[in-house]
Amino acid sequence: MLRISTFVALFACLVFVTSAVMAQESPPAAPAAAGESTDKTAETVKDETGKIVSETKESVDKIAKQVDQDPRAKEASAGLLTFIYKVAERLSFPAFHWAAFALMVAGVVSYAFQLVLGKLALLFRGSLNLAEILSDAKAFVISVVGLVLTTQAAAENSTFTQSPFAVLSSAAVGAIVGLIFYRWGQRQEVEAAVGRSRPVVVTKS
């Protein structure tokens, strides 16, 4: 349970940081008092983050012990896993793993380019958004993990990984799809950045 609680604590930390970023980007409801600083120092944020991680880890450890000893939780867990196992067994054929591998490759390529080239394009326009970077980084990590798990499942349950043609064709299709989605996503972000930079014109009737 140590590793699971650590992951949950890190997730809580990520939520805290993301909330802080969104709060900074939102307009203030009222002007601050004179001499009052609204920005937290790096040391304060670090202390608060460490406190949240420590408290969350302890809470997760206690909850995990209680849930592991609960018969109802064991029954619910077994039911959920049984359903997933049945679906996985029915989808254990090379064509599914070919499509899943291509989809994961598309996600990795798309978000990798989006994190590097896409954000450079926004940086040159002076409209870099930290919330968008975190969102793309999250999607990139999910795609990488999905690619690893898909490859592992394909190697254990089908002949997909034994065919070089299947692997290379799936990777090629996924890379092409990923580039298409990257261009589409970049165009949307650039258009949104241009829209935010335009002054709002208020017409009087």
Same domain membership, residue 106 and residue 181: yes
pLDDT tens digit string along 34-63?
Answer: 444 545 566 776 677 777 777 787 788 888
Average pLDDT of span 53-77: 83
Structure pTM? 0.63
Evaluate whether residue 151 is within a structural domain: yes
| % of residues, the chain, pLDDT over 70 | 72
The rounded distance, in Å, linking the Cα atoms of 22 and 19 is 5
Of 90, 116, 146, the one marking the end of a domain is 90
Same domain membership, residue 85 and residue 157: no
Tokens of 110: 């798309």
Question: What per-residue confidence (pLDDT) applies to 202?
Answer: 52
Same domain membership, residue 52 and residue 140: no
Most confident of the following: 16-20, 105-109, 111-115: 105-109
Question: What per-residue confidence (pLDDT) applies to 1?
Answer: 45
Evaluate whether residue 18 is within a structural domain: yes
Same domain membership, residue 97 and residue 9: no
Average pLDDT taken over every residue of the chain: 77
The contacts of residue 21 (CB under 8 Å, 6+ apart) are 130, 131, 134
- Domain hosting 55: range is 1-26+45-90
Average pLDDT of span 20-33: 47
Give me the number of domains the chain comprises. 2
Evaluate whether residue 125 is within a structural domain: yes
